[in-house]
Amino acid sequence: MIFQDQIKDMQEFEEMRPLFGTQSKLSANKVIHELDFHAKEFISKSPFLVMSTSDSKGRCDVSPRGDAPGFVQIIDNKHLFIPERPGNRRMDSIINILNNPQIGLIFLIPGMGETFRVNGRACVSRDKALLEKSAVNGREPLLGIGVQVEECYIHCAKAIKRSGLWDAETWLQECERPSAVKMLAAHVCAKTKVTEEEVGHLLEESYVKRLY
């Protein structure tokens, strides 16, 4: 690897740990092991989460999930249900969960700097009642992801503040943003005969016709 002066093991890291200082009382004691009122309120108001899974060899994958606030069902103090909406059909998260049930979630609320983290174990569920409750426009998801909460906690706003994520004045103008169509076309055109124009059409069609 090209990275120089790598930390080789935990012993070397522990020798450096004093440089980072000690945890505050807030940080050291913020983890809870089931969903309380505040956790449930945060999740119920979140329209977007990031899901981390890994395969049996530990190779990681991160995937976004989003819908109207409340799309994640809170079953009880220890269990959540996330509907599996139509995506790119690769099914990376589902396949990972079937091979390695450990999962990590970060919930976001637009305009709020703090996020909420959940770590636990996941399963792939076809629970009819939960799927029916997740229906949108008369369409039920085929599957959902059940999560058993092992630990959860509020995460401070430093990363959001540093990034200016919710500050519209920091956002790029549309003409300055990377083109998803050009990126996807550049990545697939060498392997297929699809054109950039066709890529744009296929993307737009999926956004219009296959959100649910």
Task: Tell me the pLDDT tens digit for each residue of 46-66.
Answer: 999 999 999 999 999 999 999
Tokens describing residue 156: 């401070």
Domain-by-domain residue ranges, the chain?
Answer: 22-163, 172-209
**In contact, 69 and 45? CB cutoff 8 Å:** yes
Tell the residue number behind the tokens 């949108």, with chain if given.
136
Largest CA distance in the chain: 58
**Residues forming beta bridges with residue 139, ordered by sequence position:** 136
Other beta carbons within 10 Å of 94: 17
What tens-digit pLDDT sequence spans the chain (212 residues)? 799 899 999 999 999 989 899 888 988 899 999 999 999 999 999 999 999 999 999 999 999 999 999 999 999 999 999 999 998 889 999 999 999 999 999 999 999 999 999 999 999 999 999 999 999 999 999 999 999 999 999 999 999 999 999 999 999 999 999 999 999 999 998 788 889 999 999 999 999 999 99
**In contact, 119 and 39? CB cutoff 8 Å:** no
Query: Residue 23, SS3?
Result: coil
- Kindly write down the DSSP assignment for every residue of 112-178, as one continuous string: -S-EEEEEEEEEEE--HHHHHHT-BTTB--S-EEEEEEEEEEEE-SHHHHHHTTT-GGGSPPGGGSP
CA pair distance 118, 104, nearest whole angstrom: 6
Contacts with 141 (C-beta within 8 Å, 6 or more apart), sequence order: 83, 84, 85, 131, 134, 135
Task: Tell me the pLDDT tens digit for each residue of 23-33.
Answer: 889 888 999 99
At residue 49, the pLDDT reads 98
106 exposure class (CB count in 10 Å sphere: 0-12, 13-18, 19+): middle
Domain range 22-163, CATH architecture: Roll (2.30)
Amino acid at 208: V
